[in-house]
Structure 1
Amino acid sequence: MTTTARNRMRLLVPAALAALAVSATTAAAPSSSATTAEHSITSHSHQAPANSPKAMLDAWLRLWNGDFTQASGIISPDFTVHAALLDGGDGSSIRGADGLVAWIAQTRAAFPDLRFSLQIDPLVAGHRASVRWTATGTYAGGFPGAKAAPGTVVTFTGTDTLRIRNGKFVEYWLNSDTLQLLTQLHAL
């Protein structure tokens, strides 16, 4: 496998799995406890302060949906990722807002319409937050080893856990169903 293919694989799958954004065009029907596509995590009538965990999670979700404008406002320069990457890496090479945005952007190249919905409301306890999500997107091609035709719609799930320090996300743990995604891409 070439270095380019290894790097693309390292960046592609975990970012796709890590994505959390709420979408107005999501195909998944939210459960009664899930946040709907038309509403953010915070209530419109009770807006949370900009540095509250709920407001930060709103921005986090928009970030994974491709709105990078608030990345530096919610991601610490010390931001680190903990994830089992397909190339055997542990995610530690993805650092800060720029590294995270590059990871997300590369994923979106293979799944340009990637959209996410929350399966349940986020859990927030002290300086940690966790969200469970479902992602749906159309494969555009270019995934190493994938035999699925471009245009194949994929759906997969995962859970993100984030640590907050000084009003920014500083650490990120990803647990995603890589097998579900790879099976749909016929990459096994």
Structure 2
Amino acid sequence: MNSIDTGLLDNWLALWNGDYILAYRLVTNDFTVHAALLDGGDGSALNGPTGLVGWITKTRAAFPDLRFTVEVGPIADGDHVALRWVATGTYDGGFPGATARPGTPVRFTGTDFLRMAGDRIAEYWLNSDTHLLVTQLGVRP
């Protein structure tokens, strides 16, 4: 990817904003995730479009109005693209260990690194500020 395909990145954000059908056009069938997940996993079990949609759906269950926007980027280098995002939304309940009341606003940030294979995303590295999120939700160790 020599130039940044802003349409693809717009669709990537739309996918995270709840337009799940886009996963089947955006990511490869062998798409892989690299992330430190809240359940202690490393993301390796999240494969392909179906795995990605399942993860996004689970994330959005506690924050149905969660909205992702780009704060910095995108920045491209060869077949890699990076961007920093901000997520805002309202807690709706159901997050394990949360003491926050439903209706609590949340805001957290993260960085996505994407490896492209042709016109699709093949790998995804995520670094998000989950510490800030769980603090806003009142999760205690």
Provide the TM-score with structure 1 as the length reference.
Answer: 0.70
How far residue 79 of structure 1 moved from its aligned partner, in angstroms, is: 0.4
Query: Could you say which residue in structure 2 is the equivalent of 1:148?
Result: 100
Unaligned runs of 5+ in 1: 1-51
Larger Rg: 1
Aligned residues: 137
After the TM superposition, which of the residue ranges 128-137 and 118-127 deviates more from structure 2? Answer: 118-127
> Does the 8 Å CA contact 2:112/2:124 hold for their aligned counterparts?
yes
Task: Give the Cα–Cα distance (whole angstroms) in 1 for the partners of residues 43 and 81 of structure 2.
Answer: 19
Task: Give the Cα–Cα distance (whole angstroms) in 2 for the partners of residues 75 and 112 of structure 1.
Answer: 23
Provide the TM-score with structure 2 as the length reference.
Answer: 0.93
Identity among equivalent positions (%) equals 58
Task: Give the Cα–Cα distance (whole angstroms) in 2 for the partners of residues 114 and 95 of structure 1.
Answer: 23
More strand by share: 2
What CA RMSD, in Å, does the superposition of the two structures yield over aligned residues?
1.1
- Tell me, what secondary structure is at the counterpart of 2:110? strand
Q: Does 1:90 align with 2:69?
A: no
**Aligned AA for 1:55?**
G
Task: Give the Cα–Cα distance (whole angstroms) in 2 for the partners of residues 53 and 102 of structure 1.
Answer: 25
> Does the 8 Å CA contact 1:154/1:181 hold for their aligned counterparts?
yes
Query: Could you say which residue in structure 2 is the equivalent of 1:131?
Result: 83
Task: Give the Cα–Cα distance (whole angstroms) in 1 for the partners of residues 38 and 73 of structure 2.
Answer: 29
How far residue 169 of structure 1 moved from its aligned partner, in angstroms, is: 0.4
Task: Give the Cα–Cα distance (whole angstroms) in 1 for the partners of residues 7 and 131 of structure 2.
Answer: 32
- Tell me, what secondary structure is at the counterpart of 1:158? strand
In structure 1, which of residues 88, 95, 105 is the aligned counterpart of residue 57 of structure 2?
105
Task: Give the Cα–Cα distance (whole angstroms) in 2 for the partners of residues 170 and 187 of structure 1.
Answer: 33
Unaligned runs of 5+ in 2: none
Q: Does 1:174 align with 2:126?
A: yes
> CA offsets per residue over residues 117-168 of structure 1, 9 Å max, x none?
2112311121111110111110010011000001100100000000001211
Query: Could you say which residue in structure 2 is the equivalent of 1:65?
Result: 17
Query: Could you say which residue in structure 1 is the equivalent of 2:8?
Result: 56
**Aligned AA for 1:75?**
V
Task: Give the Cα–Cα distance (whole angstroms) in 2 for the partners of residues 140 and 70 of structure 1.
Answer: 25
Task: Give the Cα–Cα distance (whole angstroms) in 1 for the partners of residues 46 and 105 of structure 2.
Answer: 27
> Does the 8 Å CA contact 1:79/1:169 hold for their aligned counterparts?
yes
How far residue 69 of structure 1 moved from its aligned partner, in angstroms, is: 2.5
